Chains A and B, each alone.
Chain A
Amino acid sequence: AQSVTQLGSHVSVSEGALVLLRCNYSSSVPPYLFWYVQYPNQGLQLLLKYTSAATLVKGINGFEAEFKKSETSFHLTKPSAHMSDAAEYFCAVSVGSNTGKLIFGQGTTLQVKP
């Protein structure tokens, strides 16, 4: 069964520092992976997605993620954190080829300190 695990429920960085949010997946088939962001009191919106066309995926707001099959990872990074990046981030995996189901990780809250 496909699943994702996010390491670290809470990450705190200083403004301008590197952001690294970890996601590992479990899948017997090539996975379709996503990162979503949730700002306070809002719904989720897509940051980026892995589609097998390229292992390094660029998303919105300067975020990117690298798919590493050998490590079964899809970690999210941003070179320089902004205060506006403070939010909850979710990694997700698509289940099956045409079921529509998405399974989410536990989420990581990013705190950005001035």
Chain B
Amino acid sequence: NAGVTQTPKFQVLKTGQSMTLQCAQDMNHEYMSWYRQDPGMGLRLIHYSVGAGITDQGEVPNGYNVSRSTTEDFPLRLLSAAPSQTSVYFCASRTVASANTEAFFGQGTRLTVV
């Protein structure tokens, strides 16, 4: 059981470049989300989805796009990378059957924008 898989683990981008962070889960979870982790800021929600075709913005959505065409995949796109997007990104999935279910996290993508 793979759980939540994120790729790549590390990435260096130049300012203005675009890229897609991949996230896949094999638990048939309805809910998927992207967080960024910065020192002293905890995890901040970027975008989330409650099912295929349904996405919504979190706390810090600017500069990021998402789509959800399947239950399994939830890619995060950076259209024009900026140094402020240097961070560690985590994808998480969760069933929405109850508010007390566990969220499962990927191993993270460490992104540096130069």
A residues contacting B by CB (< 8 A) are 6, 9, 32, 34, 41-46, 49-51, 90, 92, 94, 96-107
Contact = CB atoms under 8 A, between A and B. Distances in A.
A96 B99 contact: yes
B108 A105 contact: no
Contact of A106 (B4, B42, B45): B42
Interface of B: 4, 30-31, 33, 35, 40-45, 48, 50, 58, 90, 92, 94-100, 102-103, 105-108
A72 B88 CA distance: 30
A51 B44 CA distance: 23
A51 B45 CA distance: 23
A1 B38 CA distance: 23
Contacts of A32: 99-100
A98 B99 contact: yes
Contact of B106 (A43, A98, A101, A102): A43
A104 B31 contact: no
10 contacts: A43-B105, A44-B92, A45-B105, A50-B100, A51-B100, A96-B99, A101-B45, A102-B33, A102-B94, A104-B42
B40 to A, nearest CB: 6
Closest 8 A/B residue pairs (Cβ): A100-B31, A43-B105, A106-B42, A104-B43, A94-B99, A100-B96, A32-B99, A44-B105
B94 to A, nearest CB: 5
B39 to A, nearest CB: 9
Given A9-B40, A102-B103, 19 more contacts: A6-B42, A32-B100, A34-B102, A42-B108, A43-B90, A44-B43, A49-B100, A49-B102, A50-B100, A94-B99, A96-B99, A97-B98, A97-B99, A98-B97, A100-B50, A100-B96, A101-B33, A102-B33, A103-B45
